[in-house]
Structure 1
Amino acid sequence: MAASAKTIRFIRLPAVLARVGLSRTQIYKMIGDGQFPAQVRLSARTVAWLEDQVVDWMNQRLVDAC
């Protein structure tokens, strides 16, 4: 793998909650409204988020606040 290749990392809900400071209910409401990145199904009972998408969402919130 090249040194410039981007690593894809999945993060689970507790990590998403800790990073963004929103409640589980608010996260899912925002997903439904198209205002937060949707989760990715990893298995029948497991979902996660792409870390880059969550970080991009956080960065966009900072830009929008300025």
Structure 2
Amino acid sequence: MRIISLKEVMDLTSLARSTIYKYIALGTFPLPLSVGERCVRWLESEVHEWILDRIAERDEKVQVAGKH
């Protein structure tokens, strides 16, 4: 299990910091772990799972669109 920084999350997802925190507030992005008074990190596996979920959603939409 690996924990990653906000910069690494941004690099993996191509999302801006503000977008990541907006998605967290909406409940659609993995919550960060507090690892210090002013330091948060994410579980890499949860971020990867979030990415895989976006891919699955995209593929589902493509399949539905192809049935029309």
Kindly name which structure, 1 or 2, has the bigger radius of gyration based on alpha carbons.
Answer: 2
TM-score range, shorter chain: 0.7 to 0.9
Q: Could you tell me the TM-score, scaled by structure 1's length?
A: 0.87
Q: Could you tell me the TM-score, scaled by structure 2's length?
A: 0.85
Percent identity, aligned pairs only, is 36
The residue aligned with 1:16 is: 9
RMSD (Å) for aligned C-alpha atoms: 0.4
Unaligned runs of 5+ in 2: 60-68
1:45 has 2:62 as partner: no
Tell me the distance in 1 between the aligned counterparts of 2:39 and 2:19: 19
The ranges of structure 1 where at least 4 consecutive aligned residues each deviate by more than 4 angstroms after the TM superposition are none
Tell me the distance in 2 between the aligned counterparts of 1:61 and 1:9: 21
Name the count of aligned residue pairs: 59
